[in-house]
Structure 1
Amino acid sequence: MADEGPRGDPGPSRRHRGTDSYDNIEPLFGKLAALPEGDPDRADLREEIMRRCLPLAEHIARKFAGRGENYDDLLQVARLGLVNAVDRFDISRGSSFLSFAVPTIMGEVRRHFRDNTWSVRVPRRVKELQLNLGPTIEILSQRLGRVPRAREIAAELEIDLVEVTQALIAGNAYQASSLDAPVGEDSESTALPLVESLGAEEPSFGWLEDYLAVEPLLGELSERERQVLRMRFFESRTQSQIAEQLGVSQMHISRILSRTLGWLREQALRD
């Protein structure tokens, strides 16, 4: 289990055991630990360990490729993580080097994404979670035979659904799109820049704003007031039909509607 990658992803040694140059490298760390700091052979042995473990850094860099960052840059960051892993690994603890190096290198790459590659400011928690989505979605897709739903991803990561949704949306913040980038064609099949498709008014936005302004206020209404509003605007009943249903006069329903709508309008505009 020591070589298992994040969320059950088999680590490099499990997939390539017996073929990679970093297999069974622990004896070299034993020799390195036995050499005193000033021994001239220490630097050569450290360099040999680094050379043999370079494929591990390349493997991890490839895992993060295709997320809006140049592979060569990712490789440099992964190699830096490898250097840190080699220098910090303690052979006396009895664990394998891979079980220590893989999370160390991946952590370095994740920090690079978190701190350097977002074109829009995103909270750190969302950045870190977004980087976990790719491997989790891949695992669930293989398990379910389809693209997982956000709720299934949340259950797999044992986090709130809202956090998953935020992280999925945050994936669009890796790179900003140029307003001059062609995204469509006109009637003459001429490529049109993105800016030409922006600026159209979306009528639903107004309804959404009204809903967000009024929805919290509905809880403060009486049951009768909410009932009248529901029958009038969601069931499309007339005032006379509502009055007959509730056993009151049409004038009484008119007063309830006028008073309730006036109060909602006043509170929404005030807030």
Structure 2
Amino acid sequence: MTATETTEPTEPTGTTETRTAELPEIAEPARVTPKDARQLTRLFLDRLAVLEEGTREYQYARNTLIEMNVSLVRFAASRFRNRGSGEMEDVVQVGTIGLIKAIDRFDLTREVEFTSFAIPYIVGEIKRFFRDTSWAVHVPRRLQEARVELAKATEELRSRLGRTPTLSELSQLMCLSEKEVDEARLASNGYVSSSLDAAISNGDEGETALADFIGTDDHALELVEDFNALAPLIAGLDDR
């Protein structure tokens, strides 16, 4: 039988009736049922391990594995539905990166189901996405991670000492320089932003918003630029 000939419809739900390079040709991988996906995933991973990277067969096996297991990503993403950061489709796309990493790193010799192996990768990518996008102001990842460590160290020392720890004490516990600890403190200010319309007091004279404490524009500052621009021209004039 050639690769283009058809067979009896014995494949799991979502597959066509042809076979290519020892793998079932699946027309719509995303519509394969979870039960069939588990069986087919093992078959495709077995074949992927011996195929040459970059070949058409390799790309077919890898892409089919990704599409068949997108339901895993959606399942993991559903845990973060109430986090309120971005559209769920964005979260699924990020989680798919974790799925791809799991496919590329899965070791068939290990006695573990692919599902159990892939979920931590998917969830890890999604958590990293929320960590990177939850900041009101973008700061380097180094400082984002330092902020988390700073919070842990501060809480630990506060419990141990019964007071707010000093910069030096935090520096010693975190094994960072005082400058780096101070940078982490400043970075913490970028994690949450406040609306200028947010009420900060509600006294007898009415509600006070943060914007009420922000100074107004000083129009005289505009004259400074004019004076600097005119100064060399004025210096070139004669006495008259």
What TM-score, normalized by structure 1, do the two folds share?
Answer: 0.42
Q: Comparing both structures, which one devotes a greater share of its residues to helix?
A: 1
Which fold has the larger relative contact order, with Cα–Cα distance below 8 Å and residues 6 or more apart in sequence? 1
What TM-score, normalized by structure 2, do the two folds share?
Answer: 0.46
